[in-house]
Chain A
Amino acid sequence: MPRSDTEPTASRPDLVTERLALTGLDYPIPAAANRFRHMLGGLTAFFLTILVLTGVYLAQFYDPSPEGAYDSVRFIIVRAPLGDWIRSLHYWSAGAAVLTITAHLAVTFWRRVYRRPREITWWAGVAMAGLLFLFLVTGTALRNDQEGSEALAHFVAGGNLTGLLGRFFTPEFTASTPLLSRIFSLHTSALPLALVALMGLHFWLIRHLGISVRSDGSSVFRTHLRRLTGVALLTFAVVGFAAVLFPEGLGYPAVAGAEITKPFWPVLWIYGLENLLGAWGMILGPTLLFGFLALTPLFDRSEADRRGWVSWTGLLLGLVVVGFWLYGVFGEAQQHIGM
Chain B
Amino acid sequence: MTKFLLALMVATATPGGTLNLAYHPEATLKVSPASVAAGGSLSVEGSRFEAGDHYKLVLQGVLDEYPLLEVEADAGGLFTLEITIPSEADPGRYRLVALAPDGDASAGVDLSVTAAPAMGAAMADVHEEEAGEHPHDEEMRGGAAGMPMTGGGAMARSDDIVIERNRSGVAWGVIGLLLGLSLGFGAALLKRTPA
**B164-178 vs A, Cβ < 8 Å mask (1 yes, 0 no):** 111100010011001
Query: With an 8 A cutoff between CB atoms, is B83 at the interface?
Result: no
Contact B148 A229 (CB under 8 A): no
Q: Contacts A253-B123, A255-B149, A256-B148 given: A83-B166 contact, CB under 8 Å?
A: yes
The one of A71, A79, A84 in contact with B92, judged by C-beta atoms closer than 8 angstroms, is A71
For A68, list chain B residues within 8 Å (CB): 62, 92-93
Chain B residues positioned under 8 Å from A325 (CB to CB): none
Query: Please, which residues of chain A bring their CB within 8 A of the CB of B127?
Result: 252-253
**What is the 8 Å Cβ interface bit string for chain A, positions 224-256, against chain B (1 contact, 0 not)?**
001101111110110011001001011111111
Q: Considering only CB atoms and an 8 Å cut-off, how many residues of chain A contact the other chain?
A: 57
Q: How far is the CB of A82 from chain B (nearest CB, A)?
A: 5
Q: B129 near A: Cβ within 8 Å?
A: no
Task: Report A88 CB to chain B, min CB distance, Å.
Answer: 9
Nearest chain-A residue to B127 (Cβ)? Answer: A252
**What chain A residues lie within 8 Å of B156 (beta carbons)?**
146, 252, 254-255, 258, 260
Write out the residue numbers on chain A whose beta carbons fall within 8 Å of the beta carbon of B174.
Answer: 82
B16 CB to closest chain A CB (Å) equals 8
The number of residues on chain B lying at the interface, defined by a beta carbon within 8 Å of a beta carbon of chain A, is 54
A31 neighbours in B (Cβ, 8 Å) = 195
A47 part of interface (Cβ distance < 8 Å) = no
Whether B63 lies near A233 (C-beta < 8 A) is no
Q: Is B160 an interface residue (CB 8 A)?
A: yes
Which of these, B123, B179, B189, contacts A237 with CB under 8 Å? B179
Are A251's CB and B183's CB within 8 A?
no
A-B contact pairs, 15 of them (CB 8 A): A68-B93, A77-B163, A79-B17, A81-B11, A83-B166, A146-B157, A219-B195, A229-B186, A229-B189, A233-B182, A233-B189, A251-B157, A257-B148, A260-B140, A335-B144
Other contacts beyond A81-B12, A251-B159: 19, CB < 8 A? A68-B92, A70-B92, A78-B165, A81-B8, A81-B11, A85-B175, A146-B157, A146-B158, A226-B193, A229-B186, A231-B186, A233-B183, A233-B189, A250-B161, A250-B163, A252-B156, A255-B148, A258-B147, A335-B146
